[in-house]
Amino acid sequence: MRGVFSGSSLTKGDKMKHPYTAIIIFLTIAMTPAIVPGSARVALAGQDLLNPEAENRSETGSETPSPSSTTKDRKAGASWLTLTRAKQIALENNPTLAAAMERVNQAREAVNQAKADYLPTISVSAGMDYTEKTENAAAGFEEKRYTNQVSATQILFNGFYRKYSTLSAKYREKMSLAAQDDAKRLLSWSVTQTFLNTQLAIENIKIAQADMAFNREQEREAVAKERSGTGSYSDVLNFKTKVNSANFSLLSAQQDLNEATHGLAALLGYKDGCLPDKMTISRLTPNMQEVNPDLETRLVDDLKTAALVAERPDIKEASLAVQNAQTNIQMAKSSYFPTISLDGAYGTTSGETFHDGESMGVSLGVRVSFDIFSGGAKKAKLRQTLAEKREKESDLSDAKNTAVSNIKISIQNIATARQQLALQTENTRLMEITRDLVQQEFNAGQASLVRLNEAQTDLVAAQGNLSSAGVALILALEEFDYYIGKNINPA
């Protein structure tokens, strides 16, 4: 196992001049793993640390989720939250989808309302008339008369308005369903971005902890050298500042993790804004083959792109909006036709004195109504619906063009991200080797402090870039699914 440091290399002459130096350095090296948890090696992004439990607690004592699984955690019932599982939880619990479902229910009831126009309207009425006895009254007594009536109206023809009204309601219902799927698509994409930000923050915490451990160990060695007279106090101060800088990066990464975790919890529908106690974010997967082994089968040509675009929920919704606009045109045209209805009524009238008898009446008739002039409202309504259709067609065309462009850009982003990840993986490996060599040279007095600082800074930057490259690749793959609408059913 390669350590963070390799110890101080002393020449034979040095050992003779300073007999206690080697003993002090040896004791410092031997005690370091017990003093500094997790400092036994520098953890590359995506790798497990030697001590996962110590890794979970930063130098400042704050808790951070562990991306590495242990047998002890599994026995304790720890739940590992993967990206797929996070999407599933969000689609089950997020209030946004509950609201979208209620909009679907509203549209479904609107269809039932439109269908009701095909059935007759039946109404019942009852009344009482009271006539007071007066000198001028025709009747010489007070009179109360009661009336009861049942009436029915059936529209026979209204210019096909009912037909297109029902069709429009069905289109709006389908649009609501498509909007619900699009809400799932957008929610899954938001969960993806927030989840990856959380994983990246965890990786940055690991990098900062490893950087702090390395510089803290170098600080101890510098103190030992300074006390023995072989080092300078400026070296001690240098490593102290490096430890502080690493601690600053650690605090920033922890704050990023807190923000990302609370945001993720809100997207998953947890009301308190916190993830469950035993839920732990899974580790970042920087290996391309682990992320998506069948990537090549997903790269599509122009014809397949057009087919994928047509199946996107938002494109479906826009297409249905065009069809609904056409039904609105037909509904506007129906006002140029007369309305024909069948009316029928049955009623009784009775009084409460012996002079009154009960009378019964029945009526049945056909009524035709037609607006000859309405101030140009019908023509204006028709022109309005025609303009609305042209608007929806333009929106649909723009949405398709944008979707095709986004899909092609996404495919290029995947290819670029794969290459960048491969390069950054190799670059990080080389930086690690370089840092270790420079550290050995510095301990042997063959390299300057400036060179060691530079090598360590380059390694930390490379580790951060490696984590970012891994996130960028996963994000590019998820973005492709987002643009083709396949992220609404995570599996």
Q: What is the largest CA-CA distance in the chain?
A: 144
- Of the candidates 91, 99, 4, 88, the one whose C-alpha atom is nearest the C-alpha of residue 44 is 4
- Flag whether pLDDT at 194 surpasses 90: yes
Q: Please tell me the predicted confidence (pLDDT) of residue 25.
A: 36
- Flag whether pLDDT at 64 surpasses 70: no
Mean pLDDT of 1-30: 37
Cβ within 8 Å of residue 55, ≥6 positions away: 37, 38, 43, 49, 66, 68, 206, 209
Q: Which of 74-78, 168-172, 480-484 has the lowest mean pLDDT?
A: 74-78
Cβ within 8 Å of residue 86, ≥6 positions away: 191, 195, 264, 268
Q: Out of 39-43, 49-53, 477-481, give the one with best mean pLDDT.
A: 477-481
Mean pLDDT of 55-69: 38
Q: What is the pLDDT of residues 461-482, one digit of tens each?
A: 999 999 999 999 999 999 999 9
Output the CA–CA distances (angstroms, integers) from residue 248 to 27, 205, 212, 409, 452, in the order listed: 29, 11, 10, 37, 20
Q: Please tell me the predicted confidence (pLDDT) of residue 72.
A: 43
Q: Please tell me the predicted confidence (pLDDT) of residue 46.
A: 34
CATH class of the structural domain 12-106+164-327+379-484: mainly alpha
Q: What is the pLDDT of residues 387-418, one digit of tens each?
A: 999 999 999 999 999 999 999 999 999 999 99
- Flag whether pLDDT at 421 surpasses 50: yes
Output the CA–CA distances (angstroms, integers) from residue 151 to 146, 154, 347, in the order listed: 17, 10, 8
Q: 141: pLDDT confidence band, cut at 50, 70 and 90? A: low
Mean pLDDT of 307-316: 92
CA–CA distance, 488 with 480 (Å, rounded to integer): 12
Q: Which residue would you say has higher pLDDT here, 246 or 145?
A: 246
CA–CA distance, 46 with 284 (Å, rounded to integer): 6
Q: Please tell me the predicted confidence (pLDDT) of residue 298.
A: 54
- Flag whether pLDDT at 117 surpasses 80: yes
Query: In this structure, what token pair is assigned to residue 49?
Result: 């640390």
Query: In this structure, what token pair is assigned to residue 11?
Result: 């020449």
CA–CA distance, 199 with 285 (Å, rounded to integer): 10
Q: Please tell me the predicted confidence (pLDDT) of residue 351.
A: 72
Q: Which residue would you say has higher pLDDT here, 129 or 240?
A: 240
CA–CA distance, 172 with 194 (Å, rounded to integer): 32
- Of the candidates 237, 110, 112, 243, the one whose C-alpha atom is nearest the C-alpha of residue 175 is 110
Burial grade of 170 (CB within 10 A; 0-12, 13-18, 19 or more) = buried
CA–CA distance, 210 with 203 (Å, rounded to integer): 11
- Flag whether pLDDT at 292 surpasses 60: no
Q: Please tell me the predicted confidence (pLDDT) of residue 419.
A: 93
Q: For 296, which DSSP code?
A: G
Query: In this structure, what token pair is assigned to residue 316?
Result: 């479906």
Q: Three-state DSSP class for 19?
A: coil
Tell me whether strands 121-131 and 143-157 are parallel, antiparallel or unpaired: antiparallel
CA–CA distance, 425 with 418 (Å, rounded to integer): 11
The terminus-to-terminus CA distance of the chain in angstroms comes to 38
- Flag whether pLDDT at 210 surpasses 50: yes
Query: In this structure, what token pair is assigned to residue 132?
Result: 């007071």
pTM for this model (two decimals):
0.75
- Flag whether pLDDT at 235 surpasses 80: yes
Q: What is the pLDDT of residues 328-371, one digit of tens each?
A: 999 999 999 999 999 999 998 877 665 556 788 899 999 999 99
Q: Which of 116-125, 139-148, 223-232 has the lowest mean pLDDT?
A: 139-148
State which CATH number among 3.40.50.720, 1.10.375.10, 2.20.200.10, 1.25.50.10 fits the domain covering 120-158+338-374: 2.20.200.10
**Mean pLDDT for the chain overall:** 82
Q: 15: pLDDT confidence band, cut at 50, 70 and 90? A: very low
- Residue in the structure block whose two tokens are 């960028």: 472
Q: Please tell me the predicted confidence (pLDDT) of residue 134.
A: 62
CA–CA distance, 458 with 465 (Å, rounded to integer): 10
Output the CA–CA distances (angstroms, integers) from residue 136 to 143, 293, 485, in the order listed: 14, 102, 83
Q: Please tell me the predicted confidence (pLDDT) of residue 55.
A: 37
> What kind and span of H or E run contains 153?
strand 143-157
Domain ranges of the chain: 12-106+164-327+379-484, 120-158+338-374
Q: Please tell me the predicted confidence (pLDDT) of residue 324.
A: 97
Mean pLDDT of 248-253: 96
Q: For 117, which DSSP code?
A: G
- Residue in the structure block whose two tokens are 């009336």: 147
- Flag whether pLDDT at 75 surpasses 90: no
Q: Please tell me the predicted confidence (pLDDT) of residue 36.
A: 35
Q: 129: pLDDT confidence band, cut at 50, 70 and 90? A: confident
Output the CA–CA distances (angstroms, integers) from residue 73 to 52, 69, 77, 80, 84, in the order listed: 10, 7, 6, 10, 21
Q: Which residue would you say has higher pLDDT here, 72 or 89?
A: 89
CA–CA distance, 280 with 296 (Å, rounded to integer): 32
**pLDDT over 70, % of the chain:** 77
> What kind and span of H or E run contains 145?
strand 143-157
Q: 62: pLDDT confidence band, cut at 50, 70 and 90? A: very low
CA–CA distance, 423 with 429 (Å, rounded to integer): 10
Could you give the angle at which helices 313-333 and 377-443 cross, rounded to 10 degrees? 170
HSE-CB for 248 with a 13 A CA cutoff:
6
- Flag whether pLDDT at 49 surpasses 60: no
Tell me whether strands 79-81 and 279-281 are parallel, antiparallel or unpaired: parallel
